[in-house]
Amino acid sequence: MRTMTMKRALAGAALAALAMNASAAHAASATGTAKAKILRQITLTNTSDLNFATIISGATASTVAVSTAGGVSCGAGLTCTGTTTAANFDIQGTNNAVVLVGGDSSVTLNGSLGGTMTAALSYSASSVTLTNGPGTVGGSFQVGGTLSVGANQASGDYSGTFNVTANYQ
């Protein structure tokens, strides 16, 4: 009986060893790679403001549009004088990176003597690829707008602020 128990114990040990060797024979290993890409922090600078210049209002409501290139379209019944400009924003960041740009869709201008006007904003681009070449560093975009001028709009100096954003794609 003792021999039988020993044989069983040896057979059990042999089976266990075989099972351990079988699972070790089927084991696999691999390596992974960790990566990171570092981008410079974006800086966004306003270099010119959106300027609708001087407007003489009329008896009917109308609009003044300043394109993203700075051109002006003065609506019926209005007189527009002076130099108009689109807002310009310079972007600095990592060379060859694509930056998504955007911001507020409108701005409210408050008059110094009362009254308000609203301008719908337009952007020259929705994305900018940053470059670093001769005479250029980073990128830029412009913001134009269409100002709604009321009939007999209250006189005064009007201004308002709007937000723009620039984020890596």
Q: Are 105 and 165 in contact (CB under 8 A)?
A: no
Of 21-25, 88-92, 134-138, highest mean pLDDT: 88-92
Q: Which residues of 113-142 are buried (b: 16+ CB within 10 A; e: fewer)?
A: eeeebebebbbbeeebebeeeeeeebbbbb
Assess whether pLDDT exceeds 60 at residue 11. no
Query: Of 34, 50, 23, 59, whose CA–CA distance to 124 is shortest?
Result: 50
Give the pLDDT confidence score for residue 20 in this predicted structure: 56
Task: Please state, rounded to an integer, the average pLDDT across all residues of the chain.
Answer: 89
Is pLDDT of 1 > 60? no
Geometric angle at alpha carbon 130, from 126 and 134, rounded to 5°:
135
* pLDDT band, residue 132 (cuts 50/70/90): confident
Structure confidence at residue 25 as a pLDDT band (50, 70, 90): low
Question: Across the strands, what pairs with 147?
Answer: 64, 119
Single-letter amino acid, residue 101 = V
Per-residue pLDDT averaged across 2-23, rounded?
54
pLDDT of 145: 98
Q: What is the pLDDT of residues 31-83, one digit of tens each?
A: 999 999 999 999 999 999 999 999 999 999 999 999 999 999 999 999 999 99
| pLDDT more than 70, % of the chain | 82
Which tokens is 157 given? 């100096």
- The model's pTM is 0.80
Kind plus residue range of the DSSP H or E element containing 74 = strand 72-74
